[in-house]
Amino acid sequence: MKKLKNWDNKTWLSSKLYISQFNKFLKTKINFNKDTKILDIGCGRANIISALQKKYKFKNKSTGIDVVANKDIKKNIVFKKIEALKYLKKQEKYDLILIKQTIHFFSKTKLNRLLNLAKKSLNPKGKILIFSLKTKNNKIPCFKKMRKNLEISLKRDENLFKIIKKNLKKVSYTSFNFKVNISKQKYIRMIRERYISCLLNMNNREINFGISEIKSEYKNQIKFTDTLKCISYRK
Ligand SMILES: C[S@@+](CC[C@H](N)C(=O)[O-])C[C@H]1O[C@@H](n2cnc3c(N)ncnc32)[C@H](O)[C@@H]1O
């Protein structure tokens, strides 16, 4: 798969409101304190762990890893440009391993390896939290070809969820909902920048055709709920 670079590049996913609501949701799952050690796998620009670091002033700065090193990665965390499986072999221990909107980059075999290594990298009572787009009735605004690609990817995610359940066994499920309100113009920029992986393999002609579809089918202000399934595992 091509590399994803604009996922959190000035989108609702990097907005202060999104990050603060997401981190409030995390607080319902984790009792953060100064000693909490966090690893964010596929951290992107590390907005989430950076905001957590500001709030909780962890003694050990959180670590974010990603295969892409963007220019504007947050500075108050430890960032490593490294593939997740390779990093986890170091066997450092964490209280929280966050894997947000990243599992779809893994094959079934690699996902199992990732989970096995992540389990071994937890402190006693440590948690793994996996977030992924909800697969049924997903509201992300799409043009036709984008929707088709997204549906294929979400079908694949359902299989990945089965693998996760089989591997981690004692998991619980909740949802994180964020109400998006974005101008059509901004959303079109996000599509042009291929913000989501179902756009990565489209050529410019397909993207431009899709944008004209979005232009004609959506109002100037686009509103929808971005829903993530959260899978929680505790050691
Ligand atoms: C959709 S983005 C999500 C970013 C961030 N977690 C968030 O939710 O805002 C997925 C990220 O996973 C990274 N990624 C994909 N495969 C990876 C791997 N094998 N190891 C580490 N990072 C990976 C991508 O480069 C990308 O930055």
- SS3 at position 18: helix
Q: Find, among 4, 12, 3, the residue nearest to 177 by Cα.
A: 12
* CA–centroid distance, residue 205 to ligand 1 (Å): 26
Percent of the chain with pLDDT over 70: 100
Q: Let me know: does 81 contact 69? Beta carbons within 8 Å.
A: yes
Q: Find, among 45, 47, 51, 112, the residue nearest to 81 by Cα.
A: 45
Residue 6 pLDDT: 86
For tokens 């793994």, the residue is 128
Is residue 118 over pLDDT 90? Answer: yes
Q: What average pLDDT does range 76-102 have in this prediction?
A: 97
Residue ID of nearest Cα to ligand 1 atom 24: 42
Q: What are the pLDDT digits (tens) for 8-57?
A: 888 999 999 999 999 999 999 999 999 999 999 999 999 999 999 999 99
Residue 109 pLDDT: 97
Q: Let me know: does 44 contact 66? Beta carbons within 8 Å.
A: yes
Instruction: Using most ligand atoms within 8 A of CB, pick from 6, 7, 132 the residue to mutate for ligand 1.
Output: 7
Q: What is the mean pLDDT of the chain?
A: 96
Quote the CA–CA distance of 66 and 44 in Å, as a whole number. Answer: 6
Is residue 2 over pLDDT 90? Answer: no
Is residue 1 over pLDDT 90? Answer: no
* CA–centroid distance, residue 217 to ligand 1 (Å): 30
What predicted TM-score, i.e. pTM, was given to this entire model? 0.96
**Domain 12-234 sits in CATH 3.40.50.2300:** no
Is residue 234 over pLDDT 90? Answer: yes
Residue 144 pLDDT: 98
Instruction: Using most ligand atoms within 8 A of CB, pick from 6, 11, 15, 66 the residue to mutate for ligand 1.
Output: 66
Residue ID of nearest Cα to ligand 1 atom 13: 42
Q: Let me know: does 200 contact 194? Beta carbons within 8 Å.
A: yes
Is residue 7 over pLDDT 90? Answer: no
pLDDT, greater one: 91 or 114:
114
Q: Let me know: does 208 contact 166? Beta carbons within 8 Å.
A: no
Quote the CA–CA distance of 133 and 139 in Å, as a whole number. Answer: 10
Is residue 104 over pLDDT 90? Answer: yes
Q: What average pLDDT does range 111-121 have in this prediction?
A: 98
Q: What DSSP letter does each residue of 89-139 carry, written as one string?
A: TT---EEEEEEES-GGGS-HHHHHHHHHHHHHTEEEEEEEEEEEE-SSS--
Q: What's the number of CA atoms in the CB half-sphere (13 Å) around residue 18?
A: 18
Residues whose beta carbon lies within 6 Å of some atom of ligand 1: 3-4, 7-8, 13, 41-44, 65-68, 83-84, 100-102, 105
Q: Domain spans of the chain?
A: 12-234
Residue 91 pLDDT: 85
Q: What are the pLDDT digits (tens) for 141-200?
A: 999 999 999 999 999 999 999 999 999 999 999 999 999 999 999 999 999 999 999 999
Is residue 114 over pLDDT 90? Answer: yes
For residue 180, the cross-strand partners are: 224
